[in-house]
Amino acid sequence: MLNSPLSPSSTELVISVLEMVLSEGKPLDRAYSVHFSGLQLAPSEQARITKVAGDILRRLNLYCFLSDVKPEEMSRLGTRLINAWHLFHELELPKLQYSLPLAEAEYFARLEEAKKQPALWDGCPEWLDEMGQAQLGEAWAKERAALNTLPKRFIRTNLLKCTREELAKKLRNEQVQTQEVEGVDTALEVTSDSALFRTESFKKGWFEQQDAGSQMVAAAVDAKPGMRVIDACAGAGGKTLSIASQMKGKGRLLAMDVEQWKLDSLKQRARRANADNIETRIIASSKTIKRLKLSADRVLLDVPCSGLGVLKRNPDAKWRDTPERLPVLVELQKHILQSYSRMVKVGGILVYATCSIMPEENRNQVDAFLAENDHFKFIEDETISVADSGFDGFYLAKLERIAE
């Protein structure tokens, strides 16, 4: 991951980020934003900090075990955990003025003990390991291991402005190295530690940062120019923008969400992308959905979920209240699927999607819906495996409305 130890200032930033996530409950991306704001960090140093903080959160229980530090002790004993991280990656210990001692003999004894516990070694909390084994069986071990790896950086070509080849060439001229992603026609993998959002390519709207698996979900909508399409859980609009690109600016694309600030963010991104056929609408009540009954050629339901397919990108979710929230999320998914499906017209396609790899949120939800709604028929589904694809984990199912 790194070939040299962290500097004292970078170590301090890593500990501060971890403390904000673990003690204050802030999302990891928010913690980065707070701590990087106003700092003139080189892109390479910012990348080092995010890699280390992300890796520690992906295997937090392992590093805490190796250093004998509890997550809530980060402000007081964080340097000891950082020392354990350096030892684990066979790096020279950082030269920290106030570094707390770590007995290396005890560390190596704990390391041998950890190797005998696969879930601990993979940074997997007990609740998640039990769920994964129950729902995925033998396939869980490889998914568990894949979820603690460093996520790759993917971007999506904005076909409203350029081709993938033109984007790759322009980025190369801006010292950003990329390679094409097999099987995902719009995706490039960024292979250099470059400041993507400082490039002219980004400012001109030639690309958006989006995981290749997420791009596959959007591609499954198969929106055509001139269609009426609804992205009913649009959020900040990553998939909405991808769908707009498919539609070549022709037709009507309605992006809906229950939070206005997300739609406001989408409007800004849409302007940069020249996605002029996007209309945003807040879901104020069930009447908003009823007014759109039987109106859409395509409806994407990228429903709220546990996020258990994107843990390598959002590792802090493993250490939150996900097991307590999951039953509530499952009920919400059922409600959205039952209610929002009314917007699909006869002959139209509904795409149900999550960023989870757990059947409880995925095929089980689809099967339960179809059992109660014979006016839809199953077309196909796909689970995008973290281990097999190298992408984040997603699920998508395509259903066709065959009657009112």
Q: What is the pLDDT of residues 161-182, one digit of tens each?
A: 999 999 999 999 999 999 999 9
Domain residue limits at 386: 213-401
Question: Do 192 and 226 sit in the same domain of this protein?
Answer: no
Q: Please check the confidence at residue 317 and state whether its pLDDT lies above 80.
A: yes
Question: Do 225 and 284 sit in the same domain of this protein?
Answer: yes
To the question of whether residue 122 is assigned a binding role by annotation, the answer is no
* Domain containing residue 190: CATH number: 3.30.70.1170
- Residue 138 domain-assigned? no
Q: How confident is the model at residue 216 (pLDDT cuts 50, 70, 90)?
A: very high
Separation of alpha carbons 139 and 393, rounded Å: 13
Question: Do 363 and 217 sit in the same domain of this protein?
Answer: yes
Candidate list 64, 124, 233, 355, residue with the active-site label: 355
Question: Do 390 and 275 sit in the same domain of this protein?
Answer: yes
- Residue 43 domain-assigned? yes
Amino acid 98: pLDDT: 66
* Domain containing residue 221: CATH number: 3.40.50.150
Q: Report strand pairing: 344-354 vs 394-401.
A: antiparallel
Residue 355 is a catalytic residue: yes
Amino acid 4: pLDDT: 85
Question: Do 297 and 350 sit in the same domain of this protein?
Answer: yes
Question: Do 90 and 158 sit in the same domain of this protein?
Answer: no
Q: Domain total for the chain? A: 3
Q: How confident is the model at residue 137 (pLDDT cuts 50, 70, 90)?
A: very high
Question: Do 317 and 226 sit in the same domain of this protein?
Answer: yes
Looking at 69, 100, 123, the residue that finishes a domain is 123
To the question of whether residue 257 is assigned a binding role by annotation, the answer is yes
**pLDDT tens digit sequence for 31-48:** 999 999 888 888 788 888
Percent residues over pLDDT 70 in the chain: 99
Question: Do 172 and 223 sit in the same domain of this protein?
Answer: no
Separation of alpha carbons 278 and 297, rounded Å: 15
Question: Do 196 and 240 sit in the same domain of this protein?
Answer: no
- Residue 79 domain-assigned? yes
- This prediction has a pTM of 0.94
